[in-house]
Structure 1
Amino acid sequence: MGRRWATTGAMALVTAVASLALTTPAAAAEPPAVPAPVPAPAAPAPLPGDDPFNPSPPGANDWNCRPGAEHPNPVVLAHGLTANRGDNWGYIAPALEQRGYCVFALTYGQNPAVPAAFRGIGGLTAMEDSAREFGGFVDRVLAATGAKKVDIVGHSEGSLMPNYYIKFLGGAKHVDRYVGMTPLWDGTRLYGVDQLNRTARGLGLDPALAATLDPYCTSCRQFLRGSDFLKKMSSGGGPAVPGVTYTMIITRFDEVVIPYTSGLLDGARNIVLQRGCPTDVAEHIAVSYDPVTLQHIQNALDPAHAAPVRCVPFGPLSPLARR
């Protein structure tokens, strides 16, 4: 699955760069799961005014949508690192739209410095900048729909970055519910990159890392455990902001967020998928096409009508996850 390798590859690139910096003088700068019985929607045709190279997912970005009394908050979707709005939300966006939500999705953090073949992916710029971009999109959604608040559903980087908007950019007054999939509030130790990064900084090699990696993926080192970004996010008593209702959805099979318990958030409802459904072996990317995850999202967005979650065997090799 392309996105799995792209996301893991981005973090592996951090390892390679950090290793290079440590050896360069400072002057040189499981078995397949049973397929889930949920049909995947067809690839969407671009909406009027949509970018044909970055199309909206089906069910999203109808700027004429007006929320009803049952679901008064529009849902804004935030994708993960090396993803975009189309590939991350092809399953969840139409499912929410079919339940009566006004759904909106953006591709944030695109970097014109990367090779042309990769300019359709997002999440590459500094998360502070992406949070400002995200906030502008929320403003547009509120203006178009007439709603007072939005609900957020984010995946990976999209489960972390929007909280910067909430906590530091005045977004708390605009957000009601916040659902994160495969979050990483305490960062990741993937491939030991966090230790390599700390060692490089201790040796005075941070400028070499910054000059080599940051122009292409400024956010990559921000995900590492102990990063300045994560320290700031946890300041003042923790990441959670009063007045926002948080739900975090975590998988024990996360191969990008290591350990997976980095996704636990004080003040949130933390859901580990396998506690309620041991046969759900969805990993970091596959959760965005996971029927069990979808049910948890629906319950989090509408707790007054929450339904028992039906356990469906699911994993990265199932047809939906390979899309």
Structure 2
Amino acid sequence: MPSRSIVAAGAVAAACCALAVAPASAAPQTNSPVSEITPCPAGTAAEHPILLIHGTGRTVEQSLGPTRQALIDDGRCVYGVDYDSWGPVSESVDLVTSVADRILAVNGAASLDLVGKSQGGLIARAVSLRFSDRPTNPIDQVVAISGPQLGTGTAGSGGAGALLQAVPNLATALLPQAVIDLTPDSPYIATLNSGPLTAPGVRYTMIGSSYDELVSPAVAFIDASNVTNILLQDGCPIDHAGHAAEATDPRTIDLTMHTLDPDRHPDIRCTANNNAI
């Protein structure tokens, strides 16, 4: 069984409480049930929690650590789920949907924001679609940072798609299922994108970089009325952050914070980034 952990963090001494009493950077606990997720720490905004979803082969801390800390410093209730990011993406979406539902239930919250990096950005959108059958979708905002919404690219644009086109038999021989699922022509991507790409009532912000080596803006952005696509280099050409560097890039963090709460975070930095991780 995959290793999973879900933790909630708040502003009070960066307290953590949920499946594992440990920060999001700790090693995931094994087979922790979703039923053990506990309410937000006292003193945090429990009426509107945030769930962070990491990228492939990473943890919440590695994918979104500085953003997580900025949210905690802001008094927000922040959950993070460490899932098996090498397994089938559909199973990860099942898990994160269950986690989101549980977070809403234990806090009596009407809404929840999702912030995902890379694969986590795709999962965040997929989870929001799972709630479309409810009278009111409890997902308020989805922020996807370099999320491969249309797959990870094709030959000539990098990513797993290029690898599979170059060596097609490698798919069944060596590659993890998640990597196969994230290719643009995979059955998973085809099924996910066969209907509406977004859920009514949900606000989506897709953040991408022209210097991203794995997920180009061409596959990270979606053309829909409730989607805002933001290129890091728009208004800041000196920011050359690539896929990994986006995790700690000041402009990416500020754009995320501004999206979630523009009144409290009106300023967005423009700092030189030479793609340093």
Any idea what SS the aligned residue of 1:73 has? strand
Amino acid at match of 1:255: E
What is the aligned partner in structure 2 of residue 93 from structure 1?
68
1:213 correspondence with 2:171: no
1:241 correspondence with 2:194: no
1:240–1:266 CA contact under 8 A, matched in 2: no
1:186 correspondence with 2:150: yes
1:132–1:169 CA contact under 8 A, matched in 2: no
What is the aligned partner in structure 2 of residue 296 from structure 1?
255
- Of 266, 270, 275, the match for 1:311: 270
What is the aligned partner in structure 1 of residue 122 from structure 2?
160
Normalising by structure 2, report the TM-score.
0.78
CA distance in 1 between partners of 2:171 and 2:191 (Å): 21
1:66–1:102 CA contact under 8 A, matched in 2: no
1:260 correspondence with 2:217: yes
Shift of 1:191: 4.6
1:165–1:171 CA contact under 8 A, matched in 2: no
Amino acid at match of 1:90: G
- Which sits farther off after the overlay, 127-136 or 185-194? 185-194
What is the aligned partner in structure 2 of residue 80 from structure 1?
55
- Of 93, 96, 99, the match for 1:131: 93
Residues 97, 66 of structure 1: CA spacing in aligned structure 2 closer, same or farther, 3 A cutoff?
A: same
Amino acid at match of 1:260: P
Amino acid at match of 1:166: S
1:54–1:86 CA contact under 8 A, matched in 2: no
Shift of 1:296: 0.7
Identity across the alignment (%) = 26
Shift of 1:270: 0.5
Any idea what SS the aligned residue of 2:210 has? coil
Shift of 1:304: 4.5
Amino acid at match of 1:274: Q
Shift of 1:269: 0.5
Residues 66, 147 of structure 1: CA spacing in aligned structure 2 closer, same or farther, 3 A cutoff?
A: farther
CA distance in 2 between partners of 1:236 and 1:252 (Å): 28
Shift of 1:81: 0.5
- Higher RCO (CA 8 Å, separation ≥ 6 residues): 1
What is the aligned partner in structure 2 of residue 113 from structure 1?
none
- Give runs of aligned pairs for residues 113-152 of structure 1, distance below 5 A: 123-152=85-114
Any idea what SS the aligned residue of 2:76 has? coil
User: Could you give the per-residue CA deviations for residues 184-232 of structure 1, whole angstroms, max 9, x where no partner exists?
Assistant: 222212558536646877xxx6xx733x235xx2110111122221122
Residues 94, 171 of structure 1: CA spacing in aligned structure 2 closer, same or farther, 3 A cutoff?
A: farther
- Of 221, 231, 242, the match for 1:283: 242
User: Could you give the per-residue CA deviations for residues 258-301 of structure 1, whole angstroms, max 9, x where no partner exists?
Assistant: x4321111121000001121111111011111111111111111
- Structure 1 unaligned segments of length 5 or more: list them: 1-43, 56-60, 110-122
- Give runs of aligned pairs for residues 101-120 of structure 1, distance below 5 A: 101-109=76-84
Amino acid at match of 2:21: G
- Judging by fraction of residues, say which structure has more strand: 2
Normalising by structure 1, report the TM-score.
0.67
CA distance in 2 between partners of 1:232 and 1:292 (Å): 33
1:135–1:171 CA contact under 8 A, matched in 2: no
CA distance in 2 between partners of 1:65 and 1:45 (Å): 7
**How many residues were matched structurally?**
246
User: Could you give the per-residue CA deviations for residues 69-124 of structure 1, whole angstroms, max 9, x where no partner exists?
Assistant: 7x842110000011012322321111111112111101012xxxxxxxxxxxxx11
2:208–2:232 CA contact under 8 A, matched in 1: yes
- Judging by fraction of residues, say which structure has more helix: 1
CA distance in 1 between partners of 2:188 and 2:112 (Å): 25
- Give runs of aligned pairs for residues 264-275 of structure 1, distance below 5 A: 264-267=221-224, 268-275=227-234
